[in-house]
Amino acid sequence: MELIQLHSFYQIVKTGSFKEASEMVFRSQSAVSHQIKKLEKELKVKLFKRIGKRVRLTQEGEILFESTKKILQSLENLKKIYTDMNNGFGGRLIIAATSAVLSYILPNTIKKFVDLFSKINFKLITCRFVPEIISLVLVGEVDLAISVKPYQELPPQILFLPWRSFNRILIVAKEHPLSKNKEINKLANIVKYPHILQGKGSVNRKVIDEVYARSKLVPNVIMEVDFVEDIKSYVEMGIGVGIISSLSISQKDRERFNIFNISRLFGKVEFGIYYRKDIYISIAMKQFIKLFAPNLLKEGNELGDKKRVSWAGGVFVGG
């Protein structure tokens, strides 16, 4: 069994295609097919089944894929260790974030990071919903991800470290009837009016729907949008009310809308960092977190636990 065979196998699973996998491993498609045939012959199993033009894993293939992921992750960790040792503050950092995080949380951090560490190859991937974030972290496509606390239980390989929480707020146009309502903290008063909310794939929407369902109330959702700025635009027109995080409110917004803290009804929105438990914490990762959320590097937190990760001679090593 050769490493290039496992690498080809892994890329076929990820891409669902021999052709795309061959491009990822810089081999011809026929060479990749030959590698897989040799691997299947050696293991005496069938690894793939074809469905149209795509391929899917057999049960035996799934077993090999789980082991292969661990092997390649370990090799990737080694590469990061030696990159740090040889290049100082060089290397690579790939981060995933949802659009709200990108717009309202990260701009200053990213600006400082790229200014301070120009040798680091930095890349940011924007995702619509948290499941996309979790998937990218799980398969090792990104080093870190920053988003809201997951609604569902996380895979055992992934950790979420809380950073900061924000109130859920109700925004209404200046002349909206709710602006004069003394009992804004009653669901029955809010549900009367048309709602403009994020799509059902978002954590915020799941929480809102669940709160209403528990109270046996059904809001009239007249518009579903992906971006908070779109909610603001239509709320300002007086078309409906919006429920968003206070994170997304600027000083200018406070002049545009009447804003009410409704976290007593809908709870708060918690943001934090996602990462795999088994990854090597590179210098690039540490420096980014130091700028974004230095409290997460304190001893006792997972990323700052000296029993698990320590600083030695300019490089982090597992403890």
Per-residue pLDDT, averaged over 274-285, amounts to: 83
pLDDT confidence tier of residue 83, bands split at 50, 70 and 90: low
Question: How far apart are the C-alpha atoms of 283 and 260, rounded to whole Å?
Answer: 42
Helix, strand, coil % in the chain, rounded to nearest 5: 45, 25, 30
C-alpha distances (whole Å) from 113 to each of 61, 65, 285, 294 are 41, 35, 11, 14
Check if the beta carbon of residue 223 is closer than 8 Å to that of residue 233. Answer: no
Answer yes or no: do 12 and 99 share one domain.
no
Residue 317 has pLDDT above 80, yes or no: no
pLDDT score recorded for residue 312 = 29
> Rounded mean pLDDT of the chain?
83
Answer yes or no: do 180 and 254 share one domain.
yes
Answer yes or no: do 200 and 216 share one domain.
yes
Answer yes or no: do 93 and 71 share one domain.
no
Check if the beta carbon of residue 173 is closer than 8 Å to that of residue 238. Answer: yes
State pLDDT tens for residues 93-103: 999 999 889 98
The number of domains in the chain is: 3
Answer yes or no: do 172 and 261 share one domain.
yes
Answer yes or no: do 148 and 64 share one domain.
no
- The string of DSSP letters for 233-254 reads HHHHTTS-EEEEEGGG--HHHH
Residue 259 structural domain: 167-269
| CATH number of 18's domain | 1.10.10.10
Pairing label, strands 158-173, 48-51: unpaired
Answer yes or no: do 275 and 221 share one domain.
no
Answer yes or no: do 259 and 286 share one domain.
no
State pLDDT tens for residues 45-74: 888 887 776 788 888 888 888 878 777 776
Question: How far apart are the C-alpha atoms of 221 and 198, rounded to whole Å?
Answer: 10
State pLDDT tens for residues 120-179: 889 999 998 898 999 899 888 899 999 999 888 888 889 999 999 999 999 999 989 888
Rg of the chain taking only CA atoms, in angstroms = 24
Answer yes or no: do 256 and 274 share one domain.
no
